[in-house]
Chain A
Amino acid sequence: MILSRAFWQPHRIVMALVVLAIVLWCALSLRWDWVPKYAPMAALGLWRTIWILALSILFGLLLAIPLGLAQAVGPWFLAWPARAFCTVIRGTPLLLQLWLLYYGLGSLFPQIPWIRQSDLWPILRQAWPYGLLALTLSFAGYEGEVMRGAFKGVPKGQLEAAKAMGMPRLTTLRRIWLPQALHRVLPTLGGETVLQLKATPLVATITVVDIYAVASRVRQDTFLTYEPLLLLAVIYMAITAVIVLIFRWFENRRPAKVA
């Protein structure tokens, strides 16, 4: 789009020049000498942000499938807790959930001897498992609701055809139902991933050193207010752009027409 001739109307050229001027002004008159010093730390932080994002989405989706299935067709004793879980997760702030898990579980676990003595303790003593857990549960809560709609949206004829062919129920789920439901979710998944990315900096409040925490550290060390924040905003915009491009590529690859 950006390369086409139609895009470069006169007012857009003026706007691009204005943006360029702002960028130049930022580069020349703001202080950037701290960048090389903190670059290795920032790279680590960026890496941590990305894998927390990727893992929480993966685990969240895996949790969301049973949650959606339970709400869509499950018996009441499965549907009811699943719905309650989604309502609670969607009805309370993520920051509160995160702090409940970190401060709550974090203060509870050291009091339980067998947890302290277990091999998992060195991991549980760190902050990131709580951050990852909170982000995963949150994504599962939101996506469970989406999956419910997706499971319900698969045409009944597809499932009836599978049944008529004598497919066992699990095979139907694996071969027919789940792929078609996921296919329906894909367009919204890109947006949800961007929302999840924007939720990741919250883990910095429980001492996980992600890219946001690195920026806060720079602000504390150098007493600069704007420079780290502006760079941080640019980094997040770049990650968002990458996510959007990846999902666009996925969507172009999928068969356009299914049932």
Chain B
Amino acid sequence: MSGLVAATATLELLQLEPPGWGAPLLQGLMASVLIALGAYGLGLLLGLIGAFAKLQGGPVARDLAAVYTTVVRAVPELVLILILFYAGTDAVNQLLLSFGYERIQISGVAAGIGVLGVVQGAYATEVLRGAIQAVPAGQIEAARAMGMPPGLIARRVTLPLMLPNALPGLGNLWLNATKDTALLAVVGFAELTQTTRQAAGATKAYFTFFMAAGALYLAISLLSGWGFALLERRARRGQPELRS
């Protein structure tokens, strides 16, 4: 408990003005949220492609999607981040060089979004596949019988109907996205956790800073949990209430 006492004694270190580390922490938070949003968006896109590949693709597309989800879900995110980080920047630079352009330095934000997006995509594939499978087949058959083209069926029937099934899983994925941004601290990117460690190391007020950062992450989690509950209620409007 003396840690708590020490923490309250160093609270002024969290002020926004320069002796305090408030401003860098908030910048770190912004970077984390930005990367999480980007990675989540990319993950959803990859997940949709993966889910449709698994459900409606040919044998090759189906197997490729299975390999993607299996490999990504079996290897630790930390290792994947390192591999994709180096391989990704290497590949982009090789491509640029072969087209006669200069080598570029890829920004940490872009690399983070790309890497975490690929990881998110594998989990999103499974969530969306399960949700799409839970859509009553009659609905899709009816749409097909009306002569709707496949793209229109996906947009008007499958996706809106699977949304309430997918939202709990997608909510968890979003929470994972925000928490996985902390892993970018290991490659030295200045997001919230890395900034916190720098601040804590510089001032020796470890409890203060790590607890402050924890409170910020927790606030994001609680807010998004509430937001996803609202979204799910909206997606389920018109459906009969389930009694448990």
Q: Is A99 positioned at the interface, with any CB of B under 8 Å from its CB?
A: yes
Q: Is A139 positioned at the interface, with any CB of B under 8 Å from its CB?
A: no
Q: List B1-40 residues whose CB lies under 8 Å from chain A.
A: 2-3, 6
The answer to whether A96 and B86 touch (CB under 8 A), given A15-B63, A103-B200, A198-B77, is no
User: Which stretch of A30-38, A56-64, A158-166, A199-207 is in the interface?
Assistant: A199-207
Give min CB distance, B233 to chain A, whole Å.
21
What are the residues of chain A within 8 A of B87 when measuring CB–CB? 226
Interface centre among A90, A112, A241 (most CB of B within 10 A): A90
What are the residues of chain A within 8 A of B179 when measuring CB–CB? 92-94
Q: Is A9 positioned at the interface, with any CB of B under 8 Å from its CB?
A: yes
Task: Return the contact of A95 from the options B71, B183, B206 (Cβ within 8 A).
Answer: B183
Decide: B217 and A96 in contact? CB cutoff 8 A: yes
What are the residues of chain A within 8 A of B211 when measuring CB–CB? 100
> Is the interface on chain A under 10, 10 to 19, 20 to 34, or 35 or more residues?
35 or more
Interface of A is mostly: helix
What are the residues of chain B within 8 A of A240 when measuring CB–CB? 74-75
Closest Cβ neighbor of A233 among chain B residues = B75
Decide: A104 and B60 in contact? CB cutoff 8 A: no
What are the residues of chain A within 8 A of B93 when measuring CB–CB? none
What are the residues of chain A within 8 A of B149 when measuring CB–CB? none
What are the residues of chain A within 8 A of B63 when measuring CB–CB? 11-12, 15
The answer to whether A9 and B59 touch (CB under 8 A), given A95-B182, A100-B206, A226-B87, is yes
Q: List B64-115 residues whose CB lies under 8 Å from chain A.
A: 71, 73-80, 82-83, 86-87
What are the residues of chain B within 8 A of A205 when measuring CB–CB? 186
Closest Cβ neighbor of A107 among chain B residues = B206
> Is the interface on chain B under 10, 10 to 19, 20 to 34, or 35 or more residues?
35 or more
Bound state CA distance, A112 and B71, in angstroms? 47
Q: Is A78 positioned at the interface, with any CB of B under 8 Å from its CB?
A: no
Task: Return the contact of A233 from the options B2, B83, B86 (Cβ within 8 A).
Answer: B83
Interface 1/0s, chain A 229-247, versus B by CB < 8 A? 1101100110011000000
What are the residues of chain B within 8 A of A94 when measuring CB–CB? 179, 182
Closest Cβ neighbor of A195 among chain B residues = B73
Task: Return the contact of B210 from the options A12, A104, A112 (Cβ within 8 A).
Answer: A104
Interface of B is mostly: helix
What are the residues of chain B within 8 A of A225 when measuring CB–CB? 86
Task: Return the contact of A199 from the options B76, B193, B218 (Cβ within 8 A).
Answer: B76
Task: Return the contact of B74 from the options A92, A96, A236 (Cβ within 8 A).
Answer: A236
Q: Is A55 positioned at the interface, with any CB of B under 8 Å from its CB?
A: no
Q: List A73-99 residues whose CB lies under 8 Å from chain B.
A: 87-88, 90-97, 99
Bound state CA distance, A108 and B7, in angstroms? 11
Bound state CA distance, A60 and B218, in angstroms? 21
Q: Is B125 positioned at the interface, with any CB of A under 8 Å from its CB?
A: no
Q: Is B120 positioned at the interface, with any CB of A under 8 Å from its CB?
A: no
Q: Lowest 10 A-B CB distances belong to which pairs? A: A91-B221, A93-B182, A100-B210, A198-B76, A240-B74, A104-B206, A93-B179, A91-B218, A92-B217, A103-B206
A interface residues (Cβ-Cβ under 8 A, vs B): 9, 11-12, 15, 87-88, 90-97, 99-100, 103-105, 107-108, 112, 194, 197-202, 205, 212, 225-226, 229-230, 232-233, 236-237, 240-241
Given contacts A96-B182, A198-B77, A241-B74, 13 further A-B contacts (CB under 8 A): A87-B221, A91-B218, A92-B179, A92-B218, A92-B221, A96-B210, A100-B210, A103-B197, A105-B3, A212-B78, A226-B87, A233-B79, A237-B75
Q: 16 interchain pairs (CB within 8 A)?
A: A90-B175, A90-B221, A91-B175, A91-B218, A93-B180, A94-B182, A95-B182, A95-B183, A95-B186, A96-B217, A104-B210, A105-B3, A200-B76, A201-B76, A226-B86, A240-B75
